Chains A and B, each alone.
Chain A
Amino acid sequence: MSAVVEMSVMEQVIHHLPALIIVLPLMIAPLCVIFRNRIVAWSLTAVTSGICAVIAACLLILVKNGAPIHYALGGWSSPSGIEYYIDISNALILLLVSSISTVVSVYSLHSVDQEIPREKHYLFYTAWLLCLTGALGIAITCDAFNVFVFLEISSLSTYLLIALGNERPHSFMASFRYLIMGSVGASFILLGIGFLYAATGTLNMQDLSERIPLVAESRTVIVAFAFITVGLLIKIAMFPVHNWLPNAYQYAPSAVSSFLAGTATKVSIYVLMRFMFDVFGTNYSFSQMLLSNVLMPLAVIGFILMSVVAIFQTDLRRLLAYSSIAQIGYIIAGVSMATQAGLSAAMIHIVNHGLIKSALFMATGCMLYRLGSVHIQSLRQLISSMPITVSAFAFGGISLIGLPLTAGFISKWNLITAALEKDWWWLAALILVSSILAVVYIGKVIQMTCFSPITTENNQSSGQVISEAPTLMWVSTWILLLASLYLGINSEDFVALTQQGANQVLGGFK
Chain B
Amino acid sequence: MTTLLALFNYWIVIILMMTGLYIMITRHNLIKKLIGLSIFQTAIFYFYISLGKVTGGSAPIIDPDVTTYSNPLPHVLILTAIVVGVATTAVGLALIVRIYDNTGSIEEDDIREHELSLIKDSEQRINKSSMNKTDQG
Contact = CB atoms under 8 A, between A and B. Distances in A.
B133 A156 contact: no
A219 to B, nearest CB: 12
Contacts of B123: 314, 375
Contacts of A179: 88, 91-92, 95
A447 interface: no
Top 4 closest pairs, chain A to chain B, by CB: A455-B137, A169-B102, A456-B136, A456-B137
A378 B115 contact: no
Interface residues of A, number: 40
Interface string A134-158: 0000000000010011001000100
A156 B94 CA distance: 13
A391 interface: no
Contacts of B21: 184
B122 interface: yes
Interface string B124-135: 001101101111
A169 B92 contact: no
Interface of B: 21, 24, 30, 33-34, 37, 40-41, 44, 47-48, 51, 74, 77, 80-81, 84, 87-88, 91-92, 95-96, 98-99, 102-103, 111, 114-115, 118, 122-123, 126-127, 129-130, 132-137
A183 B34 CA distance: 10
B51 A163 contact: no
A462 interface: yes
Interface stretch (A28-36, A170-178, A415-423): A170-178
A160 B90 CA distance: 11
B41 A187 contact: yes
20 contacts: A152-B87, A168-B98, A169-B114, A170-B118, A172-B98, A173-B111, A176-B96, A180-B24, A183-B41, A184-B21, A184-B37, A194-B48, A375-B123, A375-B126, A380-B130, A454-B137, A455-B137, A456-B137, A461-B133, A461-B136
B98 to A, nearest CB: 5
B74 A461 contact: no
A7 to B, nearest CB: 32
A169 B114 CA distance: 9
A198 interface: yes
A172 B95 contact: yes
B44 A159 contact: no
A373 interface: yes
Given A169-B103, A169-B114, A194-B51, A156 B24 contact: no
Contacts of B111: 169, 173
B93 to A, nearest CB: 10
A160 B103 CA distance: 19
Given A163-B95, A183-B37, A455-B133, 9 more contacts: A145-B80, A152-B84, A152-B87, A163-B98, A169-B114, A191-B47, A194-B44, A373-B126, A377-B130
A190 B99 contact: no
A184 B44 CA distance: 11
A114 interface: no
Contacts of B48: 194
A159 B74 contact: no
Contacts of A462: 129, 132-133
Contacts of B41: 183, 187
A83 to B, nearest CB: 16
A457 interface: yes
Interface SS, B side: helix
A173 B99 contact: yes
A384 interface: no
Contacts of B80: 145, 149
A197 interface: yes
Contacts of A457: 137
A459 interface: yes
Contacts of A184: 21, 24, 37, 40
A183 B132 CA distance: 46
Nearest to A247: B115
Contacts of B103: 169
A179 B99 CA distance: 14
A309 to B, nearest CB: 17
Nearest to B137: A455
A378 B44 contact: no
Contact of A197 (B51, B126, B130, B132): B51
A170 B99 contact: no
A262 to B, nearest CB: 24
Nearest to A376: B126
B45 to A, nearest CB: 9
A148 B133 contact: no
A394 to B, nearest CB: 21
Q: Which of B80, B95, B127 is packed against the most chain A CB atoms within 10 Å?
A: B95
Contact of A170 (B115, B126, B132): B115
B115 A198 contact: no
Interface in A265-302: none
Contact of B77 (A145, A172, A191): A145
Contacts of A160: 91
Given A145-B77, A172-B102, A456-B134, A378 B129 contact: yes
B88 A183 contact: yes
